[in-house]
Structure 1
Amino acid sequence: MRTGEPLPAVGDVLASLATGLWRYDAAAGLVTLDAEAARLVGLPAEPTTLTEAGIRARFHPVDWNEVDGVVQLALAEGTIAEVRMRIMDAHGRVVRMVRSRSKPSIDPGTGEYELVGTLQEVTEPSAAAARSPITGDWRRSREAFLLDAGRALAEARSTEEVLRVAAGLSMPGFSPDGLAVFGAEGDRLTVIGHHGHKPGDEGPFTHMSLDTDYPAAEVVRTGRAVYLSSPEEYRGRYPVSWPLAAPFGRRSWAFLPLTVAGRTMGAWMAGFKHPVTFTPDERSVLTTVARMLAQALSRAGAAETERELTDGLQRSMLPTLGPQIPGMTVAARYVPTGGGLQVGGDWYDMIQLPGGTSRTKSGGGRFALTIGDVQGHDVRAAGLMGQLRIALRAYAAEGHRPDAVLSRASRFLYGMTYGDNDADQRFATCLYVEVDPATGTLEIARAGHPDPAIRTADRTVLMRPTAGGMPLGIDPDADYPTTRLVLEPGETMLICTDGLIETGGHDLDTGWRRLRRILEEHDGDMEELADALVQAVHGPSSHHATGPLTDRREDDIAVLLLCRVGEGCGCGDTVTVRPTVRRTALTVAQAEHERVAVARQQLRELLHDWSSAEQVDSAVLLVSEMLTNVLVHTDTDALLVAEVTGDHDSPNGTGGTGGRRMRVEVTDASDDLPHKRHPGELASSGRGLVLMEILADAWGVDPRGEGKSIWFELYEEPAKEDEEDEGD
């Protein structure tokens, strides 16, 4: 070409280099090809315009499916979109391979992108290059790598675990030897974690200003990736920060934005000891990993913030047990669900009460134990639980009796939750126990909560039915009657929320049977017993009342144990000795006929290890007759007291062949003494004393100053199986 002559046309130059020119209009869905581009795709060598479907038919479908991802990546990074594609003939055979390079641009009016690029034939790779980025083998290994990486990052639960997974990623064909994750706090760059560096290497990069001439800072500022293929390129583009990177001896670097929901939260640096050209395939892999890494770090950060909030809520809401009570031992556990904030509506508390004659300098006066469950397992439930717990403390501190404390608490919760928003109405179950350590007296009020259980000194576990009312917050005028029990020396009371009973697919009956076995078999102290009860539901765990649990639970669990020190109790330095007395008591009011069934169940529990099943059935029948007689023939309430005395393996001294004696006594305030009658065959009553005479080993009726008591005794006999064995 002579000096001063005009430059040749661009199309002529490209045609002389066997390079075609094409243009894609996304809005119209049309592709325009010049003559050389048409020839390369297998069409006549003349300018033509094709639809998107028409041009797609000329390429291998696998290659065509990757075009959009490469273009989107180039748009995001502001770089050239480069792809290699196989041209197919009408019979589905590959006739040549071409390389397309284009610069995408966005139409601000329509938001669609437009591509103008070149098309050039390239040589098919040889077998020796079978693992280069353009082959199907590499594509398959890349897809397998991304699947594995995505699965591993999705399972990481903490920032430390995410960084460990990222450090262990082995990228197909080009694995970095050094990684760093940068975050942003205000206008400063921070180092979240790194791999492939010595401790302390992160020092110069920590708290670096985002305005610094450093690639990671630029990525955080702009949200665009930076690829540096050589030290010369690094030094030329970032001369100020190059001295910080030079000592690491790397040859190539990739800095990618960590973006979540359109916000750049940091940057990821991958450094290589060997030169990397960062082809579109390599950039695609790095970009995909960066996106997965950003999502994983975001999830881990949210989970860690949640756990920190959970720990703070637990520390602020869960009480510590009060001062040591002379003659009593208290143990408690709280286990959250593990879901959400791991804080639900369950709670327990120990409240020192004012006044009382048994107060000592060591804090041994009257106190209250309360346990409850607010409906729900969310922040709302946790907030209501904290407020309700404070209200109960306030009412108890004013000196109110248990029934008054629950009545006021019910009105308080009703006023808080029953308003205009019916969808957010809540209720709570609660058990309130006022304890006098000097006498072991328990005054119990119950609001829809499970009854307490008592473990006697000889490890017999008895459910203690108590009078109760509706859950708190349903009826502001509800009444809560009280039940008085006495905790004898060596006995332990268990109160808990229903999570301890029903977790694991159990209902109230099967759940209590599971807990009964633990209570009967455990010989440790109260802390060990509390652990055993929780472990029976969820397995071994070192997390106690205020420790977080991360594995998911079905329901919250709150447990309180109260032991009155004595022989047979593992709550002190007392010697474990099996006592010779086992006792239960129950009041049956005139309007509470259903408590006759409760009395039968109580008696069976008291006699759970009695040798003769026939004697147990006889005792249950006689108790039914005695209680029914009081309810039908008098206007007073009945008091049932049943006790077992003696040792199982010693003679009872009364002519029986067993070792123990059972005595059952029913007392009422009526002066009318029962008389033995001779009922006819069709009579519906009058058989009580007849049965007593037939079934009891001894019985009697004793007048009292006011009222009377009727009693019977049974002496333990060997079980039927034992008698048959002896006969053989």
Structure 2
Amino acid sequence: MGGGRGEPAPEPNDDAELRQIEALNRLDTRLGEEGTPEREPVRPRTAPPGGEQAEGGGEPQRETAGVARTDQPPAPAGGEGPAAGSATASRRRDALLIEAGNDLVDADTLDDALRCLTALYAPDFTLDGQVVFGIDGDFLTAEGAYGFRAGSASDRSFRMPMTTGYPAVEVVRTGRPVFLSTPEEYRRRFPVTFPLAVRKDRRSWAFLPLVTAGRVSGVWLAAFRTPVDFTADERALLTVTSRLVARALERTRTGEAELALSRGLRSSMGRAGPQVAGMTVATRYVPTGGGLVVGGDWFDSIELPNGRLALVIGDVQGHDVHAAGLMTQLRTAVHAYAAEGHGPDAVLARASRFLAVLDEDRFATCIYMEADPHTGLLQVARAGHPHPVLRLPDGTCMIKHVRGGLPLGMIPGAKEYDDYPVSTVELHDGEILMLCTDGLIETGGHDMYSGWVRVRDAMAPGPGDDLEGMAERLIRAVTGPAAEEEAPPSTDLRRDYRPRNEDDIAMLLVRRDAGFLPPDLHRRRLVLTIEQDRAEALAEARTELRSMLHDWTRPDQVDTAVLLTSELLGNVLVHTDQAAALTATVTGDVGRRSLRVEVTDRGDELPHQRTPGELASSGRGLVLLDLLSHQWGVRPESEGKTVWFALFEATPAPSAE
């Protein structure tokens, strides 16, 4: 029933209608960038009594999920009739569309988005079924559906060749929507695929392109059980809705891709890397609440060529998938520099330059630590990262302050700032050192002080021999149910809108195991420096080495060790103008000992293995190492290089043949 001509618009009679009107008046703000035409401000409408025919005919008005309705008395007679009713219906549909757009912003999946559209569409224009088709090469696929039973085009397993006479295929080919008002029109235009539609008990269909970045990325099917004429107003409404669906589809695809990427990165990081005898390592990683399973935080443990263990923890700025990608690149670079044998300071300096060269306008904090399980000595370099925490066997915890430099990548191209001093920390039997990112300290609104107190209270109790249990206690203290209740009072307002896990958490615990070295273990060490102006020191080095190996059970290996050491020292004196530093170490029980000899110089050029001729006077050093030693290698240092070899007393010498 139309309202009286010239009568003022009735006042709104419920809060739901006021919200719809307010939403429609924000239409240009939410959808203006999509090209939606401007609309005049909406005035309140008068709804027909429940159960009566809607203006302009059609089915009786009925209650619909997500739409608040109240019965009102009919408007005075003598109004504008169908024209006024059409304008009111159009405005009401726009209001519902904006309500749908608001809900779509919070939809996590494509199915959730389709459910929102079904619930919020106008009762006189009921959307009874939807399918979102994607494009997979030469096939049309179903990516999401709502309102259809299993079977046919709504199945996720649906795949249709692009050569098929199907409405959605035509939309992909032409980029134009297809509107089918009746089954007869469907049968006439698409006879081959009409049986797919007739089994679904629908009377009208609309197939609209989903456009992303200027190209058709999919098709949205809207199906109706009651006949629809698809007037210009209805087509415009469906077109705007298809844009919302396209956005939802793009967000879903992006989210799924980011989740798959983050899962791959997380699995590559693993739970813990290699461990060495004498030290136990436990690690934990907890991502932020942003939906990804990995962010910019990472940890790593690396077995070094010298038998030591490198422990790394770092934090790339940001919590998004881009931070996760940068984290992976930086983690790989640090791992590579460590495997080459660089010291802690050199690893961080090179990593800083690597991150700066990427030109990503992000920095990272990091701690790199080289642990010697035999002595318990830790060589630690820090780049803007929180200090380690030391736990003594009696449960006492303290922050272990170590010197540090700037975060990695902070000042691109400025090598003078790549200075990362190395601190030495001695870890005694049963002591535990914890490395963590700031998420473990600050999550829940804590500052560095209150967060440290929380970490101390979780780390101190209980025995230190259960490292995994200690790691679990620390994570529960930060992310468990009690963490929210124990947040500082000053952060109550922030807790109203911030998630409990505001930042990623990476944590690494390392303990020096008690009683690792057996009482009868023999350890000898020889350290000499041979200067360029003291060539006679070569003879002294050979004598000292033979003395250290006086009880070696294989005399032939003693001769081999002296020969190889002389070759390495001679190469430094002949081919560089630097001094040669000799370090020889014997470890193990008699009869099963190992000898490791290292010769270090400050020359930048790395040696290369060659094939010298019979009359050549040089080029045999690496050939001899390869033939006569059990293990050998070359590693760059922060300044210069080290060439090393190893012999094992229980293993026969390699054959030179």
TM-score range, shorter chain: 0.5 to 0.7
1:500 aligns to 2:440 (yes or no): yes
SS of alignment partner, residue 157 of structure 1: coil
Q: What secondary structure does 2:96 align onto?
A: helix
The residue that corresponds to 2:102 in the other structure is 151
How far, CA to CA, are the matches of 1:127 and 1:190 in structure 2?
Answer: 53
Residues 128 and 534 of structure 1, relative CA distance in 2, 3 Å threshold: farther
Change (3 A) 1:240 1:429: closer
Choose from 229, 249, 252 the match for 1:297: 249
One-letter amino acid matched to 2:314: G
* 2: CA distance, partners of 1:409 / 1:141: 64
Aligned equivalents of 2:195 and 2:176: distance in 1? 23
- Provide the residue aligned with 1:515 in structure 2: 455
Q: Does residue 373 of structure 1 match 2:324?
A: no
Cα gap change, 1:185 to 1:383, in 2 (>3 Å) = closer
Check whether the contact 2:443–2:500 (CA below 8 A) recurs between aligned residues: no
2:305 is aligned with 1:350: no
Q: 1:133 to 1:500 in 2, by over 3 A?
A: farther
* Cross-structure match for 2:136: 185
Q: CA RMSD in A?
A: 4.4
Q: Deviations over 1:457-480 (max 9, x none)?
A: 332212222344555565367362
Aligned ranges for residues 605-616 of structure 1 at < 5 Å? Answer: none
Aligned equivalents of 1:351 and 1:195: distance in 2? Answer: 50
Aligned equivalent of 1:529: 470
Judge conservation of contact 1:467–1:483 (CA < 8 Å) in 2: no
Instruction: Report the TM-score, using the length of structure 2 for normalisation.
Output: 0.55
Scaled by the length of structure 1, the TM-score of the pair is 0.50
**Correspondence for 1:558 among 506, 509, 517:** 506
Q: Which amino acid aligns with 1:146?
A: L
- In structure 2, the residue matched to 1:412 is 350
Distance 1:536 1:452 in 2: 18
Q: Helix, strand or coil: the match of 2:267? A: helix
Contact 2:134 2:141 survives alignment (8 Å): yes
**1:253-332 alignment runs, 5 A limit:** 253-316=205-268, 318-323=269-274, 325=276, 328-332=279-283
> Can you give the 5+ residue segments of structure 2 that lack an aligned partner in the other structure?
1-20, 29-34, 36-55, 57-74, 410-414, 483-497, 516-657
Q: Size of the alignment, in residue pairs? A: 428
Deviations 1:71-119 (A, max 9, x none): xxxxx9xxxxxxxxxxxxxxxxxxxxxx9xxxxxxxxxxxxxxxxxxxx
Question: How far apart are residue 350 of structure 1 and its match?
Answer: 0.7
Pair 178,341 (structure 1): closer, same or farther in 2 beyond 3 Å: closer
Unaligned runs of 5+ in 1: 1-61, 70-75, 77-98, 100-123, 357-365, 542-549, 568-728
| Structure-1 residue corresponding to 2:422 | 481
Q: 1:249 to 1:399 in 2, by over 3 A?
A: closer
Matched with 1:29 is none
Report the Cα offset of residue 215 of structure 1: 1.7
C-alpha deviations, 1:295-347, integer Å up to 9, x for none?
A: 1111211221122222233334x254234555643221234456698765532
Residue number in structure 1 paired with 2:653: none
Q: 1:559 Cα deviation (Å)?
A: 1.0
Identical aligned residues as a percent = 49
Contact 2:330 2:355 in 1 (8 A): no
Cα deviations by residue, 1:240-298 (Å, 9 ceiling, x for unpaired): 32233223333222222223344222222222232222333433333332221121111
Q: 1:82-121 maps to which residues of 2 (within 5 A)?
A: none
1:695-721 CA-partner distances (Å, limit 9, x unpaired): xxxxxxxxxxxxxxxxxxxxxxxxxxx
Distance 2:143 2:292 in 1: 25
Deviations 1:546-588 (A, max 9, x none): xxxx979644432101234579xxxxxxxxxxxxxxxxxxxxx
**Which whole-Å CA distance do the structure 1 matches of 2:245 and 2:361 have between them?**
41
Q: For residues 350 and 190 of structure 2, what CA distance do their matches in structure 1 show?
A: 66
SS in structure 2 at match of 1:248: coil
Distance 1:383 1:229 in 2: 49
How far apart, in 2, do the equivalents of 1:167 and 1:337 lie? Answer: 33
1:378 to 1:443, Cα distance in 2 relative to 1, 3 A: same
Q: CA separation of 1:127/1:453 partners in 2, compared to 1, >3 Å: closer, same or farther?
A: farther
Name the CA distance, whole Å, in 2 between partners of 1:229 and 1:453: 71
State the partner residue of 1:202: 153
Aligned pair partner of 1:450 in 354, 365, 386 = 386
**Bigger Cα displacement from structure 2, 256-265 vs 147-156:** 256-265
CA contact (8 A) 2:479 2:500 kept: no
Q: 1:409 to 1:236 in 2, by over 3 A?
A: same
1:487 corresponds to which letter in structure 2? H
Greater strand fraction, Structure 1 or Structure 2:
1
Return the alpha-carbon distance in structure 2 between the equivalents of residues 139 and 532 of structure 1.
59
Taking the aligned partners of 2:472 and 2:83, their CA distance within structure 1 comes to 60
